Each structure stands twice: as C-alpha cells, then as structure tokens.
Structure 1
Amino acid sequence: MKRFFAAFRSSAKELTDIRCILVTGLLIAVSMVIESQTINLGFAKINFAFLAIAAIGMLYGPVVGLAAGGLCDIIGFVAFPDGGFLPLYTLLGMAQGLLYGTVAYRKLQCGSRTITVKGKRFDLMQLGRLFLARILDVIFINLICNTAANYHYGFLASESSLILAIYGRIAKNLIELPVDLLLMALILPAILKAYEIVFGKRRATV
C-alpha cells in the first residue's frame, strides 16, 4: 500500500520535469492523430489512441496519466467536434490514464523476467502489467462505463438498443483485444527503451 501511494507522489513530481511535459505533449499529439482515424460503428468506435495514453501512464504514472487522459478528450473535442461537450467522457478519459498509470508505471516494477523471440527481448513482468491494464480498461471503461455514459446521454434510448450495444461492444472488444495486446507488446517496450536511451532513466522502484 505504501508503494501504491508513493507512486502517486512520484508521478506528481514528474510534472516538474520539462522532459515529462515535452514527451507527454508529444504523445497527446500522437493520440490526436490516431483519434482522427477512428472508425465509428455507432455502438462503438475502433481506434488505437489508447496506446499513447498507455505510454504516458507507463512512463510517468497515475497523476500524469490522469491529466493526459482528460486533456486528450478536451483537445479531441476542440479539434474534432462531434456534438456538444459531454463531461462524462472527459472523466472516463481521466480514468483511463489513471488506470494505465496505476498498473503499468515503470517505477512500480520490481525485477524482470525476459524471453527472447526472434532476436527481440521481452520483459514478461512489464508486459503482464501492460496487458492487465488493457484488460481492465476494456472491461470497466470500454464495456461498462462507456456504455453507461452512452445510456445516460440518451444515445441508447431503449432497452433493446442498450442490449444490442452491450453485445456489440463485447464482440468488438473480443475481436480487437488480441490486436491491442500485440500492438502493446511491440510498441510500448520499444517506447520505454527509447526513452531510457535518450534520457538515461533506468527503472527505479518507489
């Protein structure tokens, strides 16, 4: 529990580092580019903007992740307006960043177990934490909270449309999840490695 709260203190201190501001801003911009390529299915949207939020949470922890998640939603609304501003979605964006920062923050990692696949080394503990964060994101934020927000705002006006949306979201996420996890395994460790090479920061526990 001490390490849990220490992660929040450590993450808050990251905000005083100009590198955190610059890298977070860059990743938010990447998120906006990915968001612009969203495929709207009506009951759900397909995009991989979560990768940028996951990277921010992994690098800088829950406080920075929470702030970045909220900023992504607000900037996305300004850049790609689609109806009125709906604050529940901003809260969900903040919750997503908080989740990745809480579960996958690099400074919370203790030890490592690596495997080598086709010449590439993968840290199993790191990947496990990233995968866990994505699965929790899909279940609690995508399936439960997003559906509830859509119902609250009247996008799902009837019980039948709500049920259809739930089944549609479950099917969409079951199909998309393996792709999400594969992209995380390929992209996020590479981002962390590049970050450590450029800034000379090695993983340290809190």
Structure 2
Amino acid sequence: MSKLRNTKTITTAGMLVAIGIVLGFFKVPINNLIEIRFGNLPIAAAGTLMGPVPAAIVGALTDIGGFLVKPTGAFFPGFTLSGIITGIIFGLLLKTDDSSNLSIVRIFIAQLIVTVFVNVLLNGYWLSLLYGKGYAAILIARIPKELIMLPINTLLITAIAKPVRMIGRAAFNN
C-alpha cells in the first residue's frame, strides 16, 4: 500500500488513466460486429508497471473518466467493476521483476482470463441487466467476437510490453 503514496506511482497512474480515456474513443472497425479497441492497453501497462492495486485503480478511473468526458448513456457501475477486475488480473499476471518472464504465453493467459471472465461472462451479465435481454443470448453473441479479439489483444499487449518494462525500469528502478 505504501506504493500508492509514491509520487511516481500516482503520476504514472494518472497519465495512464488519461491515455486510457483518450484511447477509449478510438477504434478500428473490422466489420459491422468486430472492432479493435485500445482502452485496455493502459490498464495492462499499469498492471505490468505497478501491480494489481494501482492497475485496478487505473481500470476504475478510466471507466469513470471516459463516462464523464463522453457519456454514451447512463452510468453503470458494473463496467467500473469490470475495469477494476481487469486491472487486478493484469497486475497479478503481468507484473514481474524480470522482463524475460513476461512472455507471450503469460500475456496470452492474462488476456484469456480477462476475455473469459470479464469480457464474456461479467460484461455479458451487465449487458443483460441493462438491456433486459437473456444472458444466454448475449453470451452466444459475444463469444465469437471475443474469440477473434483474443489473439489481437494479446499481440497488442505484447507489442507494448517491452517498451513499458523498459520505461518501468528507468522510472521505478525495477
């Protein structure tokens, strides 16, 4: 918890929140149903640099800040919880003292857990609550999209992992 009082941690988390909010507005459409989004990259970077608690805070504040800057409907705290859980997962699985331990397999496992438990199950549940649709119907619609996005998101995180670790070593001396 003392890390949360560290000025470098607070400023880095703040910058990642700002980057996450801005990146949340950008998407690359693949077709009518699938689009590449970049909002989770700063949460993964926070997990890689600072661990689960700061990454969870970045996940929550990115969701809340994105809503405040550009609301797309009523605020729903379930998606904030999803951001928190995403940060915890990335922080637990991607934070390493040695960058050689941050392999594509490890990144894939972290992204797989986020995809299954957060993107499909939890966010599917939130959507069923919001729209009054059947949970099973939402799951069936989300699974193919998330299966396609899993390797793409893994490669995106892999692309930023090494530079993030280099910055982390310079900034945090770890």
What TM-score bracket applies, with the shorter chain setting the length? Answer: 0.7 to 0.9
Q: Which stretch has the larger CA shift, 139-148 or 92-101?
A: 92-101
Aligned to 1:28: 17
Residue 136 in 1 paired to residue 113 in 2?
yes
Q: How does 1:95-114 map to 2 (within 5 A)?
A: 95-107=85-97
Q: Distance in 1 between matches of 2:33 and 2:70?
A: 19
* Residue pair 1:44, 1:168 contacting (<8 A) in 2 also: no
Identity %: 28
Measured at CA, do residues 70 and 42 of structure 1 come closer, stay the same or move farther in structure 2, by a change above 3 Å?
Answer: farther
Of structures 1 and 2, the larger Rg is shown by: 1
Q: Distance in 2 between matches of 1:81 and 1:45?
A: 19
1:13 deviates by 2.2
Residue 147 in 1 paired to residue 124 in 2?
yes
Q: How does 1:71-110 map to 2 (within 5 A)?
A: 71-107=61-97
The gaps in structure 2 that reach 5 residues or longer are: none
Measured at CA, do residues 37 and 57 of structure 1 come closer, stay the same or move farther in structure 2, by a change above 3 Å?
Answer: same
Q: Distance in 2 between matches of 1:106 and 1:17?
A: 19
Q: State the TM-score, normalizing by the size of structure 1.
A: 0.75
Residue by residue over 1:28-59, the C-alpha shift from the partner in whole angstroms, topping out at 9 and shown as x without a partner, is 11111110114699988741211110110111
Aligned to 1:66: 56
* Residue pair 1:143, 1:169 contacting (<8 A) in 2 also: yes
Residue by residue over 1:109-159, the C-alpha shift from the partner in whole angstroms, topping out at 9 and shown as x without a partner, is 6xx7xxxxxxxxxx3x31233221111000000000000011112x2x344
* Residue pair 1:44, 1:169 contacting (<8 A) in 2 also: no
| Alignment-mate amino acid for residue 55 of structure 1 | A
Q: State the TM-score, normalizing by the size of structure 2.
A: 0.87
| Alignment-mate amino acid for residue 22 of structure 1 | T
Residue 52 in 1 paired to residue 59 in 2?
no
Q: Distance in 2 between matches of 1:79 and 1:27?
A: 16
Q: Distance in 2 between matches of 1:42 and 1:131?
A: 26
Aligned to 2:151: 178
1:200 deviates by 5.9
Q: Per the alignment, in what secondary structure is the counterpart of residue 91 of structure 2?
A: helix
Q: Per the alignment, in what secondary structure is the counterpart of residue 71 of structure 2?
A: coil
The gaps in structure 1 that reach 5 residues or longer are: 1-11, 113-122
Number of equivalenced pairs: 172
Greater per-residue helix proportion:
2
Q: Distance in 1 between matches of 2:62 and 2:122?
A: 18
